[in-house]
């Protein structure tokens, strides 16, 4: 019965060849350093799922942001677990993405024909840092408030355009309800959408070109 | 294939991975489900004995308004509602309490001493001293508390409040 069902689906979706192309690709040489990209992808999905769960209770308003997180931590069953995973997963994702980039650099995997994979990866790194920056404000505690004050001031030190960039990030001259709302929108809609899109491109390029050989003495 | 190799290495790995995966999925999935449905599992406890005041504050034969507030906490939001009730002592031993919420559209009724009736400012409803409808649109008498819903302790009248 299951075999027939699978055959029916496979005929229409070609699951077998999908599996072969996406998951059963030849690896040049088994190496744990080559798993960091998959680890980053896993962390992205983990952050996505825990983030969706957090949005069930979190409220992006200065009046309620802090209280709603207090409620998640102390009021809701396993709220501490969901938020804990999201909190630590965020730090871990930045770390893993960065080590992944170092690995690609050290093994010279960014060279022809994988330059675009590298460039898209740079975009992914910046977006990941953007996620960290916007997510840091959401608890709306002292640390979040002042970290964002300083962070947006740094953005404001850009020559000529600085003042405009700072105002655009804050949604006004000061940190306010508008800042919290737009950081929230960026954190849960804009940046994740951009990340998901670029991850798609990144994965397509990896599947298309395969993984690079580890360099040897002749290279 | 000998009987010692009835499970192939590949199958063994698949089974172990599937088993471990299921355990991990359960460890994460069940708390996640609990997280989502947690507010629905909480029993709301709102019943309490509310002290309305000392007995001598309530003149026999004349309805007297007593007010109190109840707060409700939903997640991180606290709402405070005010309530008013009319206490009427018929004699030293007999008393009842009427809600001041009109049964028509929940306006608050007042006691009119001249007409000896409760009147509602919204749609001219009138209730008798006992809370029965005398005129106007209300569909039923004022909500009434008596007997088990009242108690007197150390000369103070208490109302058993059960509303959410």
Q: What residues does each domain of chain A span?
A: 34-209
Q: Using the beta-carbon criterion (under 8 Å), do B35 and A68 form an inter-chain contact?
A: no
Distance between CA atoms of residues A67 and B76, nearest Å: 6
φ, ψ for residue B6 (rounded to 5)? -70, -20
Q: Which CATH architecture has domain A34-209?
A: Up-down Bundle (1.20)
Q: Write the residue in A53, A70, A81 that is nearest to B76 by C-beta.
A: A70
Concatenating the DSSP letter of every residue in A162-200 gives: HHHHHHHHHTSSS--HHHHHHHHHIIIIIHHHHHHHHHH
pLDDT at B81: 87
Pick from A64, A70, A77: CB nearest B38? A77
Residue linked to tokens 């006691």: B111
Q: What's the whole-model pTM score?
A: 0.82
CA distance A109 to A206: 11
> Which pLDDT tens digit goes with each residue over A44-73?
999 999 999 999 999 999 999 999 999 999
pLDDT at residue B77 in the model = 87
- B118 Cα to chain A: minimum distance (Å): 41
**Chain B contacts to A (CB-CB under 8 A):** 31-32, 34-36, 38-39, 41, 75-77
**Could you report the per-residue pLDDT of A79-130, keeping only the tens digit for each?**
999 999 999 999 999 999 999 999 999 999 999 999 999 999 999 999 999 9
Distance in Å, alpha carbon of A47 to nearest chain B alpha carbon: 14
pLDDT tens-digit profile of B124-143? 899 998 889 998 899 999 99
Q: Which of A59, A70, A77 sits opposite B34 (nearest CB)?
A: A77
Nearest CA in chain A to B75: A71
- Chain A, 46 to 85: residues with Cβ < 8 Å from chain B are 53, 56-57, 59, 64, 67-68, 70-71, 75-79, 81-82
The mean of the pLDDT values for chain B is: 87
Inter-chain CB proximity B75 and A81 less than 8 Å:
no
Question: Over pLDDT 90: what percentage of chain B?
Answer: 43
> Which segments within chain A are labelled E, that is strand?
none
Name the nearest CA neighbour of A99 among A49, A187, A51, A38.
Answer: A38
Cα dihedral: A147, A150, A153, A158 (round 10): -90
Tens of pLDDT, residue by residue over B31-82, are: 999 999 998 888 777 788 889 988 888 888 889 899 999 888 888 888 898 8
Give the model's pLDDT for residue A141. 95
- Inform me whether the pLDDT recorded for A30 exceeds 80: no
Cα–Cα dist A152/A171, whole Å? 11
Nearest chain B residue (CA) to A49: B32
């Amino acid at each position: 019965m299951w075999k027939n069902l699978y055959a029916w689906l496979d005929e229409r979706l070609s699951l077998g060849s999908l599996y072969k192309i996406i998951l059963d690709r030849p690896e040049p040489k088994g190496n744990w350093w080559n798993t960091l990209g998959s680890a980053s992808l896993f962390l992205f999905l983990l952050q996505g799922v825990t983030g969706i769960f957090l949005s069930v209770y979190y409220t992006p308003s200065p009046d309620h942001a802090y209280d709603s997180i207090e409620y998640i931590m102390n009021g809701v069953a396993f709220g501490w677990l969901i938020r804990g995973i999201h909190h630590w997963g965020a730090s871990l994702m930045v770390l893993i993405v960065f080590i992944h980039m170092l690995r690609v650099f050290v093994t010279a995997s960014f060279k022809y024909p994988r330059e675009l994979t590298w460039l898209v990866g740079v975009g992914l790194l910046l977006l990941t840092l953007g996620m960290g920056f916007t997510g840091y404000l959401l608890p709306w505690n002292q640390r979040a408030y002042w970290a964002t004050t300083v962070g947006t001031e740094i953005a404001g030190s850009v020559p000529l355009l600085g003042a405009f960039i700072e105002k655009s990030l804050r949604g006004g001259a000061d940190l306010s309800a508008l800042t919290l709302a737009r950081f929230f929108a960026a954190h849960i809609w804009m940046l994740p959408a951009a990340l998901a899109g670029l991850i798609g491109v990144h994965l397509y390029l990896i599947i298309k070109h395969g993984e690079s050989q580890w360099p040897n003495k002749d290279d | 294939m000998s009987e010692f190799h009835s499970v192939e290495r590949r199958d063994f790995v698949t089974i172990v991975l599937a088993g471990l995966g299921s355990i991990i999925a359960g460890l994460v999935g069940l708390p996640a489900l609990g997280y989502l449905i947690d507010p629905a599992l909480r029993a709301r406890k709102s019943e309490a004995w509310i002290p309305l005041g000392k007995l001598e504050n309530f003149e026999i034969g004349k309805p007297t308004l007593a007010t109190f507030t109840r707060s409700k906490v939903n997640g991180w939001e606290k709402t405070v509602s005010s309530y008013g009730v009319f206490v009427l002592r018929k004699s030293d031993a007999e008393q009842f309490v009427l809600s001041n919420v009109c049964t028509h559209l929940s306006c608050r009724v007042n006691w009119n001493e001249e007409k000896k009736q409760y009147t509602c400012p919204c749609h001219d409803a009138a209730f008798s001293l006992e809370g029965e409808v005398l005129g106007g649109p209300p569909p039923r008498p004022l909500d009434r508390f008596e007997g088990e819903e009242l108690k007197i302790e150390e000369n103070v009248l208490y109302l058993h409040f059960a509303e959410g």
